[in-house]
Structure 1
Amino acid sequence: MAKSAEQGHPNQAFGWAATDTSGVLSPFKFSRRATGEKDVRFKVLFCGICHSDLHMIKNEWGKSRYPIVPGHEVVGIVTEVGSKVEKLKVGDKVGVGCFVGACHSCDDCANDLENYCPKKIYTYGDTYYDGTATQGGYSDVMVAEERYVIHFPDNLPLDGGAPLLCAGITVYSPLKYFELTKPGMHIGVVGLGGLGHVAVKFAKAFGAKVTVISTSPGKKEEALERLGADSFVVSRDPDQMRAAMGTMDGIIDTVFAAHPLLPLIGLLKSHGKLILVAAPIDRPIELPVYALMSGRKLVASSLSGGLKETQEMIDFAGKHNVTADVEVVPIDYVNTAMERLEKADVRYRFVIDIGNTLKAA
C-alpha cells in the first residue's frame, strides 16, 4: 500500500505541518499526486489562516491525524491542467476552499450543496479517494480536481481574496439563502472578527443598512469609518439594545463563544432571521423558544457553501471590490500567528505569503 501511494504521488511538495497535539508547525516534505486528466495543478502564492486550522493542529475536535498540513484558503496560479480540464488554463488565478471531494450522487450534491454532502472530503486532515491523507495549502503546490477549483477574477487580489474561500462564503451563503440581500434591508452583524468584518462588506455590497453588534465599544470607529457600517450597538449597553429592538430584518451571528440569544432575537422584526455561522465547541446554546413565537422569528445556521455558490461569491466580490482585511505574514511567522489568533490579536485575517517566503530546505 505504501509503495502504491508513492507511485501515485510522484510530485515532491514542501510545506509546514503539525506532527502532534502541541500544534507547533515545522517544515515538512511530502508528495502530491500526478496531475490527472481532470486535475488542475497550481503554484500556491497565498494561504489564509482560519480558526479551524488552529483547532485542527491541536486536535481540539478529536479527529486530527498527524502529520497535518493545514490551510483551506489556498490561492495561486495554474501551472498545469489535465487533458479533460475544460474551464481553466495555465496562468489563471485560482483557489481551493474547504473541500476537495464529494459523492456527487446524493441530494445535496445534486443541488450544488457539496458542502453538506455526508461523504465530502476536506482539503486537509481527511482521506482522499486513493486512501491517502489530504494536505492543505501551507505548501508550495496544490493539485485538485477542476470542479473544486475556483477561478478568480483578474481584479481580485489573491492575498485579500484568499480568506473569502472560507470566511467569505460562510457569510455570503446565508445572506443569499435566507433572502437577506434585498437593497434597503436592515442587517445586524454580531462580532467584528474574521467572519464579521467580511459579513459587513458583503451586506453593504448588497445594499443593506448594516448595524454591527459588539461587546467592545472600542470597535465602533473601525466598524463605521473603515468598514462602512451604518450604526454600532454595544450589546452590553441596555439602552442601546433597547433602542434597536424590533428594527432588523436579519442578523448574521459570527461569535464562537457561548452567548445568550434572547437579546439578539429581541432586535429582530417580526419574521426576522437570526443566522448562526459560528458555535462554541464546549457547550450548547440555549434557545428561547417563546421569544421566537411572539414574532414568528427564526433561528437557523449555515456552513460554508457549495462550489457553484462559491464561484458566484468570488465573482460578486470581484465586481464589488470585496476583500478581507488581512495581515500578510511570512511562513516562518506562522506559529506566532497561531498564538496571536488564539488571543484574537489580528485585524482581521492572517494570510501567509507562500510564494515569497516558503523555501524548500
Structure 2
Amino acid sequence: MKTSAYAATDANTPLQPFSFERRELRHNDVAIDILYSGVCHTDLHMARNDWGFSIYPLVPGHEIVGRVSAVGGSVTGFKVGDNVAVGTIIDSCMECEQCRRNEEQMCYKGVTITYNGQDRVTGDVTYGGYSNHIIVREEFVLRMPEGLDMARAAPLLCAGITTYSPLRTWNVGPGSRVGVIGLGGLGHLAVKFASALGANTTVLTRSEGKIDTARELGADRVLLSTSAEQMESAAFGFDVIIDTVPYEHDLSPYLGLLDVDGTLVIAGSLVDTPKFNNMPLILGRRRIAGTPSGGIRETQEMLDFCARKNILPECEMIAIQDIGTAFERLERGDVRYRFVIDMASLPAA
C-alpha cells in the first residue's frame, strides 16, 4: 500500500515528506486509515537519535487513532469502519509467560515497537503514525469506546497508559495518597487518573504558577518542592509517587515523602539518575520502581475507563506541516499539554 508520511532522514534534519510501501495485509492483520497521531516526547528523542539506536528514515508516531479500512481473512474482532487505536507496541511473541499474562509490553523475547522496530515476519523496519495508513496485527489493535473524543484521545495511547498502568499496579484507589512530580504531558494525565480512581492527589512542583492549574486538573493540593517547610510537613505522606519529570534530576528530596513501604515510580524517563541518599529507602522500607507502558488488555481497560469518567488529555491540534515548530516548542516545554496531528493535513501519496 502506497503510504504518505513525514520522516526524519537523519538526526539533524527537520522531518520532511516521505513515501513508502506498507506491507501486504496478512490473514490476521487490520489495515487502518490514521485520523489523528499524538506527538510524544519520545518522537523528538528518536528523530534526533538521542538514545543512539534510531534507524533512518524514521517515521515517528505511536499514539494513533483511526478507522479500519480492511481486515485479513482470519480477523474476527474488527470490521471495516470501526474506530480503533494503536499504541506503542504492535507485536510480541504471544507465547512467553509475560505475554500469556497479558503483559505483552514485558515480552521476554522483545516487543515490536510501532516505529523504529523490526517486523517479526519480514525483519523490515516499522514505520509509525505520522502517516496516512498503518497495518497492525489484530491482537494489538484497540477498540475506541463510544463517547470518547477521537480528536483528543491519541495521547492516551502512550502518555495515558504510561501513567494509568502504575496506578493500577500499585492498587491506587479510594484512600490512597498519591503524589505526582511534574505537570506536563504525562503528569497532567496522572493527576486526572489518580483523582478519578478516588485517591487523595497532590502535585509536587517547583512552580507556584502551576497551583491553580493543578487544582483545575483534579489535584487536592499542591506541594512546592522548593519550600523546605512544605516538604518537611509532608514527610511520610504518600503511598505512591509518580515521577513524570523527563530530564535528569535528584530523587533524594522525594524519598522521605513516602510512607513506610511506599513506592516512587519512574514513569518513562530514560535518563541517568544522579546519586541519591539511600538511607530513606532502607529505614523506611521504601522502593524506587520503573514502569513502561501497559499491556493491550490494560490499555483497553484505560480507554474504557476514560470513556466512563470523561477523561481526556489537554491537547493542541496541529497540521503535519507544523511538526518542526511543534518539536521546537516541545523541547522548551511550550505546550499544554500534548500536540495532536490532524492527519487530514497530510496529502495522499
Same fold (TM over 0.5): yes
Code of the residue aligned with 1:40 in structure 2: it is: V
Q: 1:209-231: per-residue Cα shift (whole Å, max 9, x none)? A: 1100011111111111x202110
CA distance in 1 between partners of 2:134 and 2:164 (Å): 25
Q: 1:290-311: per-residue Cα shift (whole Å, max 9, x none)? A: 2012222121111101111111
Match of 1:358 in 2: 346
Match of 2:51 in 1: 61
Match of 1:188 in 2: 179
Match of 2:333 in 1: 344
Match of 1:301 in 2: 290
CA distance in 2 between partners of 1:333 and 1:274 (Å): 36
Deviation, 1:23, is: 4.5
Pairing 1:133-144 to 2, within 5 Å after superposition: 133-144=125-136
Mean CA deviation greater in 101-110 or 284-293: 284-293
Q: Do the aligned partners of 1:100 and 1:123 also contact (CA within 8 Å) in 2? A: yes
Q: Do the aligned partners of 1:81 and 1:90 also contact (CA within 8 Å) in 2? A: yes
Match of 1:170 in 2: 162
Q: Do the aligned partners of 2:250 and 2:273 also contact (CA within 8 Å) in 1? A: no
Pairing 1:102-251 to 2, within 5 Å after superposition: 102-117=92-107, 118-128=109-119, 129-179=121-171, 181-224=172-215, 226-251=216-241
- Give TM-score scaled by structure 2 length: 0.96
Mean CA deviation greater in 54-63 or 101-110: 101-110
Q: Do the aligned partners of 1:174 and 1:275 also contact (CA within 8 Å) in 2? A: yes
Stretches of structure 1 that go unaligned for 5 or more consecutive residues are 1-10
CA distance in 2 between partners of 1:96 and 1:49 (Å): 14
Stretches of structure 2 that go unaligned for 5 or more consecutive residues are none
Mean CA deviation greater in 286-295 or 249-258: 286-295
Please list every run of at least 4 consecutive aligned residues from structure 1 whose deviation after the TM superposition is greater than 2 angstroms.
278-281, 283-289
Match of 1:317 in 2: 306
Match of 1:34 in 2: 24
Q: What is the number of equivalent residue pairs in this alignment? A: 347
Q: Do the aligned partners of 1:23 and 1:54 also contact (CA within 8 Å) in 2? A: no
CA distance in 2 between partners of 1:119 and 1:27 (Å): 30
- Give TM-score scaled by structure 1 length: 0.93
Deviation, 1:287, is: 4.2
Change (3 A) 1:158 1:293: same
CA distance in 2 between partners of 1:239 and 1:278 (Å): 30
Give % identity.
45
Q: Do the aligned partners of 1:22 and 1:58 also contact (CA within 8 Å) in 2? A: yes
Deviation, 1:278, is: 3.4
CA distance in 1 between partners of 2:201 and 2:44 (Å): 30
Q: Secondary structure at the match of 1:195?
A: helix
